[in-house]
Amino acid sequence: MPHQGVCLCGQTTVTVNSEHKDQIICHCLDCKQTSGSAFSTNILAPQKEVTITGPIKTYDMKAASGNVVSRIFCGNCGSAISHKSVAFGDAQAIQTGNFSDFAKIPFSTELFVKDRWTGLAPVEGAAQVRAMT
């Protein structure tokens, strides 16, 4: 069953044609700034299974790892849509806040927990990854 999401203004849509039974939380500073919150919620999906339509813009930046990360967002409302990096291989991270059906999909992993805000408890049962190498 494909997952379908939409940005805040409705002009950019995302379709993911792969199954996902879990999500990832990322606490890194870049994801916090992109989401405007304490963390981001994501899935890693094969790029060939992702279709993004509508006005998008891309912002390339260097992550702490030294890898370039290409962040994709709606060119109209600025909603974070996705990001790509060589670290993901043939996959790309898709921000799940744009998809209503991900509200019922559990989290399996928390990344960059060294940067988690102190008021946030670990997600019970999720793997806790201090940082990425």
Taking the domains of the chain in order of start, what are their residue ranges?
3-121
What was the pLDDT predicted at 133? 62
pTM over 0.85: yes
E-strand spans in the chain? Answer: 3-6, 13-16, 23-26, 40-46, 50-53, 56-62, 68-74, 80-85, 91-95, 107-111, 127-128
Q: Which fold has domain 3-121?
A: 2.170.150
Q: What is the pLDDT of residues 83-106, one digit of tens each?
A: 999 989 999 999 999 999 999 999
Residue with tokens 């996902």: 20
Estimate the share of the chain in helix, then strand, then coil, as percent rounded to the nearest 5.
20, 40, 40
- The tally of CA atoms less than 13 A away on the side-chain side of residue 41 is 17
Is pLDDT above 70 for 9? yes
Distance CA 87, CA 48 (A): 17
For 18-73, the pLDDT digits (tens) are 999 999 999 999 999 999 999 999 999 999 999 999 999 999 999 877 889 999 99
Contacts 24+ apart (CB under 8 A), 1-4: 3/99, 3/101, 3/102, 4/99
Residues 6+ apart with CB under 8 A from 3: 15, 16, 20, 99, 101, 102
Rounded to whole angstroms, the Cα distance separating 50 from 54 reads: 13
